Structure 1
Amino acid sequence: MKEILFNQLEKSNASTNCRNGLRDFIFNHPDALKDLIAFGTDLNNKNHHKAVWIIEMIAELKTEMLAPHIGIICETISKYKNESAIRGMSRTAYFLGTSEKIVLTEYQQEKLIEICLDWLIREERVACKVYAMRTLVHFGKKEPWINNELKEILGRDYQNQSSGYKVAAREVLGKIK
């Protein structure tokens, strides 16, 4: 099974059909999820971002499947350098952070909050920053200091950002005022 998954990942591309096929493979073979996670968190593998695409889709549709793997995801999430993997991990962080089907430990929440703040202040693409904002506003419901940080970062960076960033920032600021 592991060999089949790795071969499919190696040959995959970003097309919707390809990604959906790999997602469905995991849904039909849940035992292969641990291998997918291993592939996606092996940052020395040049194709780890392809596994992240599928992890992201699983996080969106069946977040609870990732529960046994949240530890390794949270340990690895700040180490990604590939833009495609960072974008996928930002969405994964959002789905993990906002899910009602799983419970994060305090440490896991801290790791997600930390990386989301980092993504907001680093030079990352807009999609990553938007998912970071949305994740943080969710955590800010429980931890008010996050809202203060979010207001400061968004206010400071607002003028120099794209229109997509500005729309998301206004939405987030409206939720925390």
Structure 2
Amino acid sequence: MTYLELYKALDYVNHSRTKRMEMSNLVLNDPSLMAPLMEIAFKVDDPVSCKACWILEFTAKKNLASIFPNMDIFAGNIGSVHLDPAVRPIAKICEVLMKSYFQFNDRETREAMNKIHLENVTTACFDWLIGDHKVAAKAYSMTSLLLLGRKFDWIHPELRMILEQNYQNGSAAYKARARMTLAKLR
């Protein structure tokens, strides 16, 4: 499948799990599609990029290692994602990566991610947490930052300060996740 064929196929993807899973399986069965999928995902002003991000999330959740050969592209571009339908899946992938790296201490994940990748995830997660984004992206960012704080000492005090400052104005879902995160920070 060429880049153009992939782009056109993504244009027909909708929110249904069936369509997203279909495209994800296509990528998993042909790893050469991962680089063009990421290229489309990071065309951040193109509405099709959101659909590519959905597929990237489905693919990463099913087989996290599938994104490792393109980790430089992924980590180098996550900070540019700004459309809400794209931010949520990218933030979720970051959470899955951080859980794999820190909680599960997965050797393959730890080998695939270097300090620069972790710093890029940190920056993007703080941006999503303090930016005008939906609560899901903020919640995934809280988890990622909580875990990243195990490597970078400065993260936990910053995270605590942001959560305490924004708690009053947060939605019920934001407050619930913030309470849970703050409890782990104490």
TM-score strictly above 0.5: yes
Call closer, same or farther: CA 1:77–1:5 in 2, change over 3 Å: same
Partner of 2:21: 20
Partner of 1:102: 109
Partner of 2:183: 174
Shift of 1:170: 1.1
Q: Distance in 2 between matches of 1:121 and 1:35?
A: 30
Q: What CA distance in whole angstroms lies between the structure 2 residues aligned with 1:11 and 1:113?
A: 33
Show the 5 A alignment for 1:144-163.
144-163=153-172
Q: What is the rounded CA distance, in whole Å, between the counterparts of 1:119 and 1:4 in structure 2? A: 32
Tell whether the 8 Å contact from 2:57 to 2:92 is kept in structure 1 after alignment.
yes
Tell me which amino acid in the other structure corresponds to 1:169.
A
Extract unaligned runs of 5+ from structure 2.
Answer: 101-105
Secondary structure at the aligned position of 1:47 is classed as helix
Alignment of 1:30-69 (within 5 A): 30-69=31-70
| Structure 1 residue aligned with 2:126 | 117
Cα offset, 1:143, TM superposition: 2.1
TM-score, structure 1 length as denominator?
0.94
Unmatched tracts of structure 1, length 5 or more = none
Question: Which shifted more, 95-104 or 82-91?
Answer: 95-104
The answer on whether the counterparts of 2:139 and 2:177 sit within 8 Å (CA) in structure 1 is yes
Q: Following TM superposition, by how much is the alpha carbon of 1:38 offset from its aligned partner in structure 2, in angstroms? A: 1.6
Using the TM superposition, name which of 95-104 and 149-158 deviates more.
Answer: 95-104
Q: Alignment partner of 2:109: what SS? A: coil
Deviation at 1:44, TM superposition (A): 4.7
2:7 aligns with 6
Give TM-score scaled by structure 2 length.
0.89
Q: In the aligned structure 1, how far is the partner of 2:151 from the partner of 2:48?
A: 36
Aligned-residue offset at 1:42: 2.2
Moved more, 33-42 or 107-116: 33-42
3-state secondary structure, aligned to 1:102: helix
1:138 pairs, out of 147, 155, 159, with 147
Q: CA separation in 1, counterparts of 2:176 and 2:45?
A: 36
Aligned to 2:154, the other structure's residue is in SS state helix
Q: How many residues are treated as equivalent by the alignment?
A: 177
Counterpart for residue 86 of structure 2 = 85
| Residue number in structure 2 paired with 1:128 | 137
1:96 & 1:31 partners in 2: Cα distance? 21
